[in-house]
Amino acid sequence: MPETRAGDLPEEAAVARVLCDVRALTGEPTGPTGVLWKLAESGRQLDANLIRLPAGERIGTHAEPDLDVLVLVVTGDGVMDTPEGELPLAEGALLWLPHGSTRSITAGPEGLAYVTVHRRRPGMQIRRRADLAPVTARPDSP
């Protein structure tokens, strides 16, 4: 039975398991594109996605300001453009993208499938904005 801590919901048992077969998900070159799989288990400390881009498709220039990201190319090829130059992407390439780094990705002629892994972002929180002045009642006008 999962252990409970004060104020927490029961945690899932810490059990290693196979999540998916990336070769089966990316095996068809004309298969679905975009996010093919994502890590969704509760209690996780990581986020991960399996992404497929069709031939010539591009993810525009962007940066991740807060999180380091690992990228593992599963199938296909392409190019990652960075301010320092192009990085070739081919099956088996493992890239580290330190937080703050800028990049774009373009799939090659056979498309590109890759896995991204990074620390999970904390959930959204509702907070009072510090720059808002408190609301006060206005006096009645004559």
Q: What is the pLDDT of residue 16?
A: 84
Q: Which two tokens stand for residue 69?
A: 């990201």
Q: Give mean pLDDT, residues 49-63.
A: 93
pTM (two decimals): 0.71
Q: What is the pLDDT of residue 138?
A: 45
Answer whether 120's CB lies under 8 Å from 47's CB.
Answer: yes
Q: What is the pLDDT of residue 17?
A: 79
Q: What is the pLDDT of residue 27?
A: 76
Q: Using one digit for the tens of pLDDT, what is the confidence trace for 74-106?
A: 999 999 999 999 999 999 999 999 999 999 999
Q: Which of 125, 120, 26 is nearest to 67 (CA)?
A: 120
Contacts of 70 (CB under 8 A, 6+ apart): 94, 95, 96, 97, 116, 117, 118
Q: Which of 116, 109, 133 is nearest to 55 (CA)?
A: 109
Q: What is the pLDDT of residue 15?
A: 82
pLDDT at 117 over 60: yes
pLDDT at 130 over 80: no
Q: What is the pLDDT of residue 13?
A: 72
Burial category of 114 from C-beta neighbours within 10 Å (exposed 0-12, middle 13-18, buried 19 and up)? buried
Residue 35 bridge partners (DSSP): 51
